[in-house]
Amino acid sequence: MHHIASELNQDVAPENKAKPRLLLHACCAPCSTAVVERLQADYEISIYFYNPNIHPVEEYRQRRDELIHWCKDVAKIPCIVGEYVPEKWLEQVRGLEHEPERGRRCNRCFRLRLQQTASYARKYGYDLFTTVLSISPHKRHQHINRLGLALARQSGIEFYAANFKKQNGFKRSIEISRALNFYRQNYCGCVFSLRKFKA
């Protein structure tokens, strides 16, 4: 049987093979550009915007709407928007308000967003999930990947571990964002990172 199956597979031209369905968690359009460019040849990508960490709501809407428009008009990929319940995020990071960026608060923040992504991916039959977050020079890909792989074991959905900073990923995201005249935020997203930026 194995022999027949592999013969049948060889009859399928590579361009006609179905690509694995990847649910890509994204925080904004600029960070998504270079990641989608890198993965689009090999995966059927859907963007998942789930970011209850973003404060204030006007900032949330700005990042969300720009991403929706870019997905629709430029990248031509689906963009799914998750619920926005900042109280849920605050609950997760309670007691860690004064942690520095890259510290324990950020790990909780990654976990909430990745957990939700894995759960959505499982519910809707995706083959794997990942996040654009590792493209940021302010984020450690090791933490993100460790969390993603642990969630993969729990959820049964494969996690695509990556460091999207590599091969000039961040630089490329800036190039594309400038060319498309994107808004580029100057703080990570939560109220605590905003306060630090303004301080």
Binding residues for ligand SF4 (CB under 6 A): 53, 101, 105-106, 109, 188-190, 192-193
Q: Which is nearer to ligand SF4, 75 or 133 (CB)?
A: 133
Nearer to ligand SF4, 44 or 99 (CB): 99
Can you state the angle between helices 86-93 and 104-123, rounded to 10 degrees? 130
Asked if 164 contacts 145 with a C-beta cutoff of 8 angstroms, the reply is no
What token pair was written down for 50? 């789930």
- Provide the minimum distance between the beta carbon of 19 and ligand SF4 in the complex, in angstroms, as a whole number: 30
Burial (Cβ within 10 Å: 0-12, 13-18, ≥19) of residue 108: buried
Please say which residue, 107 or 155, places its beta carbon nearer to ligand SF4: 107
Least Å distance, CB 74 to ligand SF4, is 25
d(CA 134, CA 148) in angstroms, rounded, equals: 11
Query: Per DSSP, what are the bridge partners of residue 130?
Result: 24
Q: How far is the CB of 54 from ligand SF4 (least distance, A)?
A: 7
Q: How far is the CB of 184 from ligand SF4 (least distance, A)?
A: 15
Q: Which residue number, 19 or 88, has a Cβ lying nearer to ligand SF4?
A: 88
